[in-house]
Every structure is written in structure tokens, then in C-alpha cells.
Amino acid sequence: MFVDQAVITVRAGKGGDGAISFRREKAAPKGGPNGGNGGRGGSIVLVAEDGMGTLYDFRYQREWAAQPGEDGGKKQCSGGDGADCLVRLPPGTLVFNADTSELIHDLRPGERVVIAKGGKGGWGNEHFKTSTYQTPRENTPGEPGESINLRLELKLIADVGLVGKPNAGKSTLLKALTRANPKIGNYPFTTLSPQLGIAEVDAMRKMVFADIPGLIEGASSGAGLGLEFLRHIERTRVIVHLLDARPDDGSSPADNYTAIRAELKAYSEALADRQELIVLNKVDLIDDPGERQSVVNALSRALGVREGRELMVISGAAGTGLKPLLHKLWTMLHPEGAGRPGWVPDAAEQA
């Protein structure tokens, strides 16, 4: 199950108390203080775990606590430090203070962040001895660990985000390009949660795709599934706007594009300015080549885009046009020259 929001409580461990102890041996009847210090309490550490893509685990485990430090012992023995508690989260998780709504940290891939520090251990009485104070009978307790209520909000990190109206073929395209296995059906809102997949241009070049549930008019205001999942394309570097060449409701691809673009802009101006590639899908459903080209030409004129540059024509189900699509997206992500030394475009990339 995909879960992208959760509220948890984290508690770092308390420091151990210092000990009060005196050396008592046959050869040293008046031995001095030897109470050891308490150990430090364990901290709460957030770890970005590659491969995680949901906050599902936090739906049932709401409290996370680290171990307390051990109390000090005799013979100047310090107590052991408490073990840290590792909270593994998907990369891209925003960590907020649930009480103040303050953003504490934006967890990036590979990061480890101490979010709540363990308490310091207390001093044993050996710490307080001086030349004039040789039998101290005092110690200090360990400090309490930090405790905080956190609100976790996941924003998936992907190179390419697939957007479009319901039934535009996003799940089919994701399955054709990657090893992802999303649910596919001939009805709207087949995809109920974002799906991730990795597409390989070749062994050296890979891209992460995110399939976002279908958007409808009013998505930015909460209609359909849009508002709940629009946040997941905020981190994508390129948006693929997928259009159905022959929509079942009789609408035109150009009108559908305009409607979804309006929702993206209403949600975020920055998102509306993101790099975009328009992709006309399901062209295999138009048998007549002349009619197919007419649909492409009409869309090009209506949106002021050029086929092969701002507009790509594919069929996710039939697998046509997918290699040129991947090469085009790679060059958009790596305009400096396809991202590897000595790269030379092959025939498919030049098409």
C-alpha cells in the first residue's frame, strides 16, 4: 500500500546516572571515591533508505525510542552508551515539527541525520573529588533525551514525471519503458498511487520515471486524485505530458493538454515552468496513416510545437516510438551531451 504522510513521535534515550561509590580494599581502608559516569543516551537517526517508496511502516508504528544510557558503576566504570534508533525513510521525505509545522529537514538520498539527540550521562562522585574535598557524596543524574512529534511527508524523487488525464496510457507506458508492473485497466483511475520505474537507455544511462495518478479539471483544488499526488511531480526534472490520440469522451488532445496545464499552473508556477515534453499516445488505434498524421498536425498547430522536438508520437501498447522517446528525454536531462564522455548519437537518437 502506498502511504505518503504519517505522524510519529520520536524519543531519544536518557543519559545514565552517575554513581556514588568508594574504594574499599584491605590494603586501602580509606580509599577515595570511584563512582563512574553515566553513559550517553541513544539518539534518533533518520536514514534515507534506497528502495523505499512509501511511509506504510509508519502507519502502525507511531512511536520510536532509542535506548537509555547505562548508569555509572564502581571502580570508575562508566556506563555504556545507549544504542541509537535508526528510522529508515524513503529519500525525498520532508520532516516537519508536527506541533509547529516547521520544516526540520528534507531527506536526500544517502543522508543520515540526527533528529533527536540522546541525553548526556551524569557525573559520578569520582568527578567531584579535589585536594580539599576528598570524600564527595554527590553525583548528577543523566539528562533526558530530546523528544519531538514529527510529521512525515513523502515527495518522490524521479527524473521524469508522467502526467495526463485518466486513461491516457501512463501505466502502460511505464510498464513498456521499465520493469515496473503497475495495474493496467481500460477504465479511468486505474492508478491509485504514484508508481516508480527505472528505464535504461543503455547499460550506462538510466532514468527514474514516476507515474502520477490521472489528473482532471479541478485537481489543484482537490478534485479526483490530483491534489493528493501533485506534490510527487514537484521534484521531477522533466514532465512528460501524455495525451490520448483518440480520447473515449470525444474531446481533443489539444483541449485535454490545455486543461491539465491549467491545473499544474494553479498548483505551482514553478511546476508549470518545468521542462516538458508532449507525447501523443495510442496512435496505433488510428489505422489510416493519413488520418494519424492529420491528428498529429492538428495538435502541432494548436499547441505551436514541432513533431520530433517538443512533440513525440508513440504507442505504449504497441511499443512504437519508445527508443526515440527515451533518447529525447535523456538529452533533455543531460543537455551537455548525453552525459558520458565520447558519446555519439546513434541512428535512433538522431531520428
| Residue 199 C-beta-side C-alpha neighbours within 13 Å | 24
Within this chain, do residues 289 and 314 fall inside the same structural domain, yes or no? yes
The dihedral region occupied by 128, where left means phi > 0, alpha psi between -120 and 50, and beta the remainder, is alpha
pLDDT tens-digit series, residues 284-308? 888 888 998 999 999 999 999 898 8
Within this chain, do residues 194 and 147 fall inside the same structural domain, yes or no? no
What is the model's pTM?
0.61
Within this chain, do residues 147 and 185 fall inside the same structural domain, yes or no? no
Within this chain, do residues 88 and 220 fall inside the same structural domain, yes or no? no
Within this chain, do residues 329 and 346 fall inside the same structural domain, yes or no? yes
Count of the separate structural domains present in the chain: 2
Helix/strand/coil (H/E/C) assignment for every residue in the chain: CCCCEEEEEEECCCCCCCCCCECCECCECCCCECCCCCCCCCCEEEEECCCCCCCHHHHCCCEEECCCCCCCCCCCCCCCCCCCEEEEECCCEEEEECCCCCEEEECCCCCEEEEECCCCCCCCHHHHCCCCCCCCCCCCCCCCCCEEEEEEEECCCCCEEEECCCCCCHHHHHHHHECCCCCCCCCCCCCCCCEEEEEEEECCEEEEEEECCCCCCCHHHCCCCHHHHHHHHCCCCEEEEEEECCCCCCCCHHHHHHHHHHHHHHHCHHHHCCEEEEEEECHHHCCCHHHHHHHHHHHHHHHCCCECCCEEECECCCCECHHHHHHHHHHHHCCCCCCCCCCCCCHHHHC
Within this chain, do residues 252 and 310 fall inside the same structural domain, yes or no? yes
- Pick the last residue of a domain from 109, 127, 154: 154
Within this chain, do residues 31 and 45 fall inside the same structural domain, yes or no? yes
Within this chain, do residues 140 and 179 fall inside the same structural domain, yes or no? no
Q: Binning pLDDT at 50, 70 and 90, where does residue 251 land?
A: confident
- Mean per-residue pLDDT, 178-184: 59
pLDDT tens-digit series, residues 132-158? 887 888 899 999 999 999 999 887 667
Q: Flag the least confident range among 33-47, 147-161, 207-221, 231-245.
A: 207-221
What CATH number has the domain bearing residue 104?
A: 2.70.210.12
What domain range is 66 assigned to? 1-154
Within this chain, do residues 116 and 211 fall inside the same structural domain, yes or no? no
Q: Binning pLDDT at 50, 70 and 90, where does residue 169 land?
A: confident
- Mean per-residue pLDDT, 102-108: 90
**Are 141 and 17 spatial neighbours (Cβ–Cβ below 8 Å)?**
yes
As a dihedral over the C-alpha atoms of residue 290, residue 292, residue 297, residue 302, rounded to 10 degrees, the angle is 140
